[in-house]
Structure 1
Amino acid sequence: MSRETRTPPAKAARSAARAPAFLFGMGVGGFVDGIVLHQLLQWHHMLSHTESGSSKTVPGLELNTLADGLFHSAMWVLVVAAAALAVRARQQGRLSPSWRFHTGLVLAGWGVFNIIEGLVNHQLLQIHHVRDDLGGPLAWDLGFLAVSVLLAVGGWLLFRGSQMSGKIGAPDAG
């Protein structure tokens, strides 16, 4: 008995890899949140709205430093995973050359990360808010979510506006 090996017909255009840019955007979004809001502006820390994580005590600051470090480590893993997926996509000929494709997905990933982080950490768990020190943390949290939605939608529109939003081998206007 002979076994017949079938090779699927080659597609005219291959699907471009979306995950690398999207995951990179999520990681960058986390880095910007952690570096800018946690460290530079010091508006909040990962656990600053919890009883044991008060940033007014040394043990609270120590706990928040650890939590912020774990958060940054998770963001680092996302960025490294994005890089590994980009290398794999390049080897498979599935890495789009379009800047709109990648920039759009990076912005969309950043926005989606912020939406998840804002809903889970700020609203559901309430382990921190964008600003606790000025009063009215809900207004700051809603503003953060609004900017996040704009990032996600704007990024998705930029990605979809790319003629290469789904296929490799198609012409690209930019």
Structure 2
Amino acid sequence: MSARNRGPLVLAGLLLGVGLGGFVDGILLHQILQWHHMLSTPLPPDDVVRIKVNMFWDGLFHALTWVMTLAGVWTLWRVGQRSDVPWSTRTFVGAMLAGWGLFNVVEGVLDHQLFDLHHVKPGPNQLAWDVGFLVFGVLLIAVGWALGRAGREDRVPRGGLRVPHPAH
């Protein structure tokens, strides 16, 4: 068994990053700031039908982010039972950041640009907000990737003591 099998840890981090990134989007932008909803319908803002439609689609969105988060937790649990996958905080956190960035890029391209379901902050400068959302996603992916690469040198056994990586 190779002690360099980081794939399962990266997968767990990516799934958790996508799920938690979705929760940040849904909780912060949909609920707290109320800038948009998953399906921002073009009806008057006080229309009961619009409110129900938006709540339904936001609920489906949150159900999906919950499933992604649960999949990430389940994957992480399975990783913890494997002796061939070294623990690395940098690899795991890097994968989570990359997953969050992946969520932003995919959601931003599909929902904001391609399908025009909603925008980050509709109104004046909405394109700037949408582009900023994408740029933030790309930055998260880049930082996550760099952190994950740095984590390749980590080799932490199950006891939690750091062991130097053997020379190549």
Between the aligned residues of both structures, percent identity stands at 44
Structure 2 partner of 1:155: 144
| Residues 59 and 139 (structure 1), Cα distance of their counterparts in 2 relative to 1, 3 Å cut | same
Gaps of 5+ in 2: 158-162
Structure 1 partner of 2:16: 24
Contact 1:86 1:95 in 2 (8 A): no
- Structure 2: which amino acid aligns with 1:86? L
Deviations 1:55-114 (A, max 9, x none): 442211111111101100000000111111111111122443221111110000000111
Pick the aligned partner of 2:30 from 33, 38, 41.
38
Secondary structure at the aligned position of 1:15 is classed as coil
- Structure 1: which amino acid aligns with 2:12? P
- The answer to whether 1:141 aligns with 2:134 is no
Deviations 1:115-174 (A, max 9, x none): 000000000000000011x32311110011111111111111111111347x776736xx
TM-score by length of 2: 0.86
Structure 1 partner of 2:160: none
Contact 2:5 2:85 in 1 (8 A): no
Gaps of 5+ in 1: 1-9
State the structure with more CA Rg: 1
Contact 1:47 1:127 in 2 (8 A): yes
Distance in 2 separating the partners of 1:110 and 1:61:
28
Contact 1:25 1:105 in 2 (8 A): yes
Structure 2 partner of 1:93: 83
| Residues 95 and 28 (structure 1), Cα distance of their counterparts in 2 relative to 1, 3 Å cut | farther
